[in-house]
Amino acid sequence: MLSKKVEETLNNQVKLEAYSANLYLSMASWADKEGFPGASEFLYEQYNEENTHMLKIFQYINDREGHAIVPAIEQPPSNFNSIKEIFEKTLEHEKFISSKINELVAVCMSETDFTTVNFLQWYVNEQIEEERTARTILDRLKMLGGDTAKMYLFDRDLKDMRTIN
Ligand code: OFO
């Protein structure tokens, strides 16, 4: 059984994962509208992944006799200046999520809930991967330096990148 504190913190993480999903959905829409089909497809995939992250925690709360709550979610930004800005925001956001996962683990440790610490290990590893992918994409974008022809190829290649889970 979850302590109230762990239950509350997990429910807060549900909200953060749901926000992440909507943030990527919004980015996917912008990329689609601006003529970047590869980036858009990649970001729609991120949306699906974040929903999975959210649902896993949601179901875990109830599995441990807590009460998973469907959260109200703040509207994400809908306009961006460039694909580069999108991936800068992605990296910044994933770093923020990593810090929240670490806080969550710290709460579980202080409540001696080692079952949840164990459950969260998947998220700890996932965050390493998510930050790394965003950083890799940003590095590639920096190398292109705004070259339109190369940007076309970059966008096409993004379709095949499926390393953020
Ligand atoms: Fe993008 O992170 Fe979920 O956990």
CA angle 98, 23, 61 (to 5 degrees): 55
pTM here?
0.93
* Statement: residue 103 has pLDDT above 90: yes
Find the 164 Cα to ligand 1 centroid distance in Å.
Answer: 9
Both structure tokens of 158 = 């993004």
Confidence at 165, pLDDT banded by 50, 70, 90: very low
Residue of 19, 53, 101, 103 with the most ligand 1 atoms within 8 Å of its CB, for mutation: 53
In contact, 165 and 129? CB cutoff 8 Å: yes
